[in-house]
Amino acid sequence: MNGADTAWILVATALVLFMSLPGLAMFYGGLVRARNVLSVFMHVFMIAALMSVLWLIAGYSIAFGEGDALWGGLGKAFLNGIDADTLSGTLPEVLFFAFQMTFAVITPALIVGAYVERIGFGFVLAFSALWMLLVYAPVTHWIWGGGLMADGGIWGETGTKDFAGGIVVHETAGLAALLLAVMLGRRKDASKPPHNPGMVAAGAGMLWVGWFGFNGGSQLAADGGAAMAITVTHISAAAATLSWAAWERIKFGRASLIGAVTGTIAGLASITPASGFVGPIEALIIGLVAGILCQEAVNLIRNKMQIDDTLDVFAVHGVGGIFGTIMIAAFGAGSWTAQLGALAVVGVYTLVVSFIIAKVVGIFFPLRVDAETEHEGLDLAVHGERAYHHD
């Protein structure tokens, strides 16, 4: 065991959980109407709790167990055979488990942004549970757990390069989000502006800080690689914030706070897969392009295709993660076959399995709330609470 590596990953684990709780909850919560903000918080918190327990029961074993190329098996279910002295590289394995658990929390939580303001609560929990076990955990095994697409797998000696989750996290969540948005249909009233832009900005700030643990922690060591990952993460986020705001200014005559901080997230998602393989100049390029690319993706999906992916999960996370994954090959840090092949295989797998899960869960839990509940708002109708009381 290496004490410095262990200390850093302990901190990184806390930072990644901080991304979901409270970062993502506030970022998404501020973007919806006042009558739905608590339902967004509830979705994120309950997903965090449920995924943590499921990761212990089976998720970690499926992702990082000793199984075959397709899945890790159930040998490490309930952390079987792992105690405080068991090592994974230079880390206690129980710490590696905890660090990866925070990724298993945030990935299904990202999908929340696609279905807010109209989704059934039971459906959210059942879909997220099955999705993490049947989509996220197997894909994690294929790329990070020594499975199908790792080095020596189906792409040959050089496997798919995905440092912190461009494919594993952002592509899977983004495509599942897009699929659910299409299946749900548009909100009855999709025109209302975000109820609290200040909350959105605060949540985005927490995500930006937490992302240092997400990308820097993925080095799994306290070394120069982790330092470079954090640096390029920050540069990309900064560049995308600027380019998104500048592009808005050119197109609409003014730059918005909501736009700028969405640009931040686009830059962070885009650098995620590449953060262990590129330097500051490449990060600057990735960020500058991401701010414009993801903004145009929002416009395409929301306005041209008329898909109500409410908080632009696919346009920002999906497109960003896919773009960053491709840039690894463009900058010569990975093979085109392995990068594009993994995007295609994981994309098809995610869409097919997510669709089947949604259909099966829909038999037991309604996908969408009724019109009256949607009009009243999920906070009061589903949870019996209000975020704001006007005396």
**Global pTM?**
0.97
- Give the per-residue pLDDT at 189: 84
Q: Is a pLDDT exceeding 80 seen at residue 138?
A: yes
What b/e sequence results for 167-179 when a residue is b if at least 16 CB atoms lie within 10 Å of its CB, and e otherwise? bbbbbbbbbbbbb
CA distance 360 to 355: 9
Q: Is a pLDDT exceeding 60 seen at residue 200?
A: yes
Give me the chain's average pLDDT, please: 97
Q: Do 199 and 28 touch, CB atoms closer than 8 A? A: no
Q: Is a pLDDT exceeding 70 seen at residue 188?
A: yes
- Give the per-residue pLDDT at 287: 98
- Give the per-residue pLDDT at 193: 86
- Give the per-residue pLDDT at 391: 54
First-last CA distance in the chain: 58
Average pLDDT over residues 224-229: 98
Altogether, the residues listed in the chain come to a count of: 391
Percent over 90 (pLDDT), the chain: 98
- Give the per-residue pLDDT at 59: 98
Q: Do 220 and 47 touch, CB atoms closer than 8 A? A: no
10 Å Cβ neighbour count for 33? 19
**Confidence category of residue 38, pLDDT binned at 50, 70, 90:** very high
- Give the per-residue pLDDT at 155: 96
- Segment 326-351, tens digit of pLDDT: 999 999 999 999 999 999 999 999 99
Average pLDDT over residues 170-181: 98
Question: In Å, what is the CA distance from 188 to each residue of 370, 371, 377, 382?
Answer: 11, 8, 12, 17
- Give the per-residue pLDDT at 332: 96
Average pLDDT over residues 69-76: 97
Average pLDDT over residues 117-137: 98
Across the chain, which distance is largest between two alpha carbons, in Å? Answer: 66
Average pLDDT over residues 362-383: 96
- Give the per-residue pLDDT at 133: 98
Q: Is a pLDDT exceeding 80 seen at residue 204?
A: yes
Q: Is a pLDDT exceeding 90 seen at residue 103?
A: yes
